[in-house]
Structure 1
Amino acid sequence: MGGIGIWQLVIVAVIVVLLFGTKKLRNLGGDLGSAVKGFKSAIGEDKEQKNSAEKTSDTLADNSTSATEDVSKTTASKTKETDQV
Structure 2
Amino acid sequence: MLNNIGLPGLLLIAVVVLVLFGRGKISSLMGEVGKGITSFKKGINEGQAELDQDTADAAKDVTPEDEKDKV
| Same structural fold, with TM-score higher than 0.5 when normalized by the shorter chain | yes
- Does residue 46 of structure 2 align to residue 8 of structure 1? no
Residue 28 of structure 1 is matched in structure 2 by 29
The percentage of aligned residue pairs carrying the same residue is: 27
Residue 17 of structure 1 is matched in structure 2 by 18
| Alignment RMSD (CA, Å) | 1.7
Give the unaligned 5+ runs of structure 2: none
Give the unaligned 5+ runs of structure 1: 72-85
- Scaled by the length of structure 2, the TM-score of the pair is 0.84
Q: Pick 1 or 2: higher relative contact order, CA cutoff 8 A, min separation 6.
A: 2
Residue 51 of structure 1 is matched in structure 2 by 52
User: Runs of 4+ in structure 1 displaced over 6 angstroms?
Assistant: none
Deviation at 1:35, TM superposition (A): 0.5
- Scaled by the length of structure 1, the TM-score of the pair is 0.71
Distance in structure 2 (CA, Å) of the matches to 1:60 and 1:35: 38
Distance in structure 1 (CA, Å) of the matches to 2:44 and 2:6: 36
